[in-house]
């Protein structure tokens, strides 16, 4: 990840109820970077879209 990407370690449920691991926020691109279980590559989508499609999953650590 580049210097413009803020590293994160958060869990969210997507619009289908599948938990995704949010690993970063790209300030320059205004997008969220996340990983899906079983997918070896990072995924990304605009913050506006992720705000409407993802719901944060709270854990005991948060």
Q: Which pLDDT tens digits describe the chain residue by residue (62 residues)?
A: 556 899 999 999 999 999 999 999 999 999 999 999 999 999 999 999 999 999 999 876 65
How is residue 58 written in tokens? 């709270």
Composition of the chain by helix, strand, coil, percent to 5: 10, 45, 40
* Contact by Cβ (8 Å): 34, 57: no
Residue extents of the structural domains in the chain = 5-56
pTM higher than 0.95: no
Cα distances (angstroms) measured from residue 52 to each of 2, 56, 60: 26, 11, 24
The pLDDT assigned to 13 comes to 96
């Amino acid at each position: 990840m580049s210097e413009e990407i803020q590293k994160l370690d958060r869990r969210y449920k997507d619009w289908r109820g599948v938990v995704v691991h949010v690993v970063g926020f790209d300030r320059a691109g205004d997008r969220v970077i996340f990983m899906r279980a079983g997918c070896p590559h990072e995924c990304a989508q605009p913050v506006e879209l992720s705000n409407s499609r993802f719901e944060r999953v709270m854990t005991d650590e948060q």
